[in-house]
Chains A and B, each alone.
Chain A
Amino acid sequence: MEASAENTGLLEARGVEVEIGGVAILRGADLRLEPGKLTAVVGPNGAGKSTLVRAVSGLQKMAAGSARWQGREVSEMRGRELAGLRAFVPQRMPVPAGITVREAVTIGRSARLRPLRRLTGEDHEGIARAMERARVTRFTERTLSTLSGGELQRVQIAIGLAQEAPVLIADEPTSQLDLGATIGVASLLRDLVGEGLAVLLVVHDLALAAAIADTVVVVSEGRTVAAGAAEQVLDHERLAAVWGADARLTSHDGRTALHVAWLQQP
């Protein structure tokens, strides 16, 4: 079973096209996810990164192409089935008044419940496990409105983990976080990958993408133009061609940096 799942991939998306209001946002994007791998989607603003992950997640209608989850087309699946295959963590969720961390994670767990059914002991264990894995156990009874940005992002990940889907998808989870909180979320995601989860991220920070991703997918002008290891995909020529930057990615001992000629056009 394991081997065949790896052969077909958890997700196989090919030629994905999306139109929004008559404008072509995606014009042909491919994506493939495997268990225990972290995939980072990078690209300039407006390239279609978020649209791509939303389309394969079933949050955005596709105009053409296919996205198959364990062999099944996303558009043909019911919401509940899809919820068992992938969890989508938005950039920043709204924070309803008076809702505690535990309640929010419980709402995440409701994806596994039939309508009007109550939580079972197994569900409560699942909720506790999700909070532990996302490292939010220190503040489970606090309300969401009292949390810092980094804590809230980890709670959002906990809500996704409560779905117990094999794939976690996050849209720019660190874009509004400070350095310390970014490190916290990045190491959390890497540990989840170590536990066997497949993680798909939209990332702006190329140095961060290079540090945490097994595969980097570059999206430019609505197309995926490269996919592979960061050092091969994010070379000097591509940084110039896609981002219009004279920049070089360096990697040494788990430390990554982007050396940019800030005031020069290539």
Chain B
Amino acid sequence: MARRTLVFAALLVALALAVIASLALGAVKVPAAEVIDILLGKGDGGSDQQIIEALRLPRTVEAMIVGAALGIAGAILQGALANPLASPDVIGVTGGAGFGAILIIILFPGSIALLPVGALFFGLLAATLVFAFAWSGRNRGSTGKVILAGIAMLSLFTAGTTGLLAAYPERAPSAIFFIAGGLTSSGWQELETIWPYFAVGFLIAACLIRPLDRLALGDDVAASLGSRPQLIRLAAGIAAALLAAASAAIAGLLGFLGLVVPHVVRMAGGTSSHTFVVPASAIGGAALLAAGDTLARTLRAPIEMPVGPFMVLLGVPLFLWLLRKAV
């Protein structure tokens, strides 16, 4: 119990540091004390305050929401499918969202504002197709069927994306940023469209924590306790699809985060209890993405690098170190 509290506290500290760094660092460096004053509403209304409130705060909030959403999506999928390899990739969301975004970038380069909508739509479409196939015929809703249908759908949409890029090579460069994954300083505009998908996803995920703990003891125990295992899996899939598609709409393809963060918190906390893993994955994911985004835009400023590779650089060593210690 003490260990979990410790891990939780460490994650919160990491998140606080990452948020302050994300707000303080950039082309204009703002001292941390001033950042905190501005956050508490005690700013002097100067240019620092404008930079933070108009540019950095929306971006930092986006990083936190997307990081938390991907962490949760991975945690509930790994729990619901009882498979350590589960992530938003395996229910087709990532492949679909990538295809939708590239479709907009390549075929409608004039309406780039549609990109989040395209990513969201095709991400959810891919997940819907996965569930429709996995929930039909015999053995409906089994873990194996979901994962196989998901990988088939991922291949299909990835092939579509690759095909588009090959057909229009001159427009490929603008697609690279989306595929690598990254945030932009475009204010609150994207969140204003996308937030309801996050809200519903977070709400379903919160309601799933206890059912997922039951499911961890097997379908029979879950059924004995009055739950319906297939329904839990379906709800987890829907919540993960909403969270991952909304995340892709805002920050591109960051599937790695959803796979790794739940494993890291499980290994660090020494438990797979969802009452710990789901909230800890949310905080861990938020901290990792906020830190990764800060690094990505400050290391070679003013050039912004996509955050995906940076998060991998931050996350993989930690992951491998924990994996070595895990039994």
- Interface residue ranges, A against B (CB under 8 Å): 21, 57-59, 78-83, 86-90, 93-94, 96-99, 103-104, 107-108, 110-111, 113, 115-116, 156, 159-160, 163
The interface residues of chain A lying within 8 Å CB-to-CB of B314 are: none
A147 to chain B, nearest CB (A): 14
> In the complex, which residue of chain B has the Cβ closest to the Cβ of A22?
B138
Query: Which chain B residues numbered 182 to 220 have a C-beta less than 8 Å away from chain A?
Result: 206-207, 210, 213-214, 216-218, 220
Complex Cα spacing A103 to B1, Å: 11
Known pairs A87-B224, A107-B213, A107-B214; list 19 more (Cβ under 8 Å).
A57-B223, A79-B223, A80-B226, A93-B217, A93-B218, A93-B221, A94-B217, A94-B218, A96-B216, A96-B272, A96-B273, A97-B266, A98-B269, A98-B273, A103-B273, A107-B221, A108-B225, A113-B210, A163-B224
Whether A163 lies near B207 (C-beta < 8 A) is no
Whether B210 lies near A110 (C-beta < 8 A) is yes
Whether B221 lies near A159 (C-beta < 8 A) is yes
The interface residues of chain B lying within 8 Å CB-to-CB of A80 are: 226
A111 in contact with B271 given A21-B138, A90-B221, A97-B266 (CB within 8 Å): no
From B206, B210, B224, B269, contact of A160 by CB (8 A): B224
The interface residues of chain A lying within 8 Å CB-to-CB of B223 are: 57-59, 79, 88
Query: Which chain B residues numbered 240 to 272 have a C-beta less than 8 Å away from chain A?
Result: 266, 269-272
Q: B151 on the interface (CB 8 Å rule)?
A: no
**B interface residues, how many (CB within 8 angstroms):** 24
Most buried by B among A81, A88, A93: A93
> In the complex, which residue of chain A has the Cβ closest to the Cβ of B209?
A116
- Interface residue ranges, B against A (CB under 8 Å): 82, 138, 206-207, 210, 213-214, 216-218, 220-221, 223-228, 266, 269-273
Complex Cα spacing A99 to B4, Å: 12
Please list the 5 inter-chain residue pairs (A to B) with the smallest Cβ-Cβ separation, ordered nearest first.
A79-B226, A98-B271, A83-B226, A88-B224, A90-B220
> In the complex, which residue of chain B has the Cβ closest to the Cβ of A109?
B225
Whether A96 lies near B217 (C-beta < 8 A) is yes
The interface residues of chain B lying within 8 Å CB-to-CB of A58 are: 223
> In the complex, which residue of chain A has the Cβ closest to the Cβ of B326?
A97
Complex Cα spacing A21 to B272, Å: 35
From B214, B220, B266, contact of A59 by CB (8 A): B220
Complex Cα spacing A156 to B206, Å: 26
> In the complex, which residue of chain A has the Cβ closest to the Cβ of B270?
A98
Whether B226 lies near A104 (C-beta < 8 A) is no
> In the complex, which residue of chain B has the Cβ closest to the Cβ of A59?
B223
A107 in contact with B272 given A93-B218, A116-B207 (CB within 8 Å): no
Complex Cα spacing A156 to B225, Å: 12
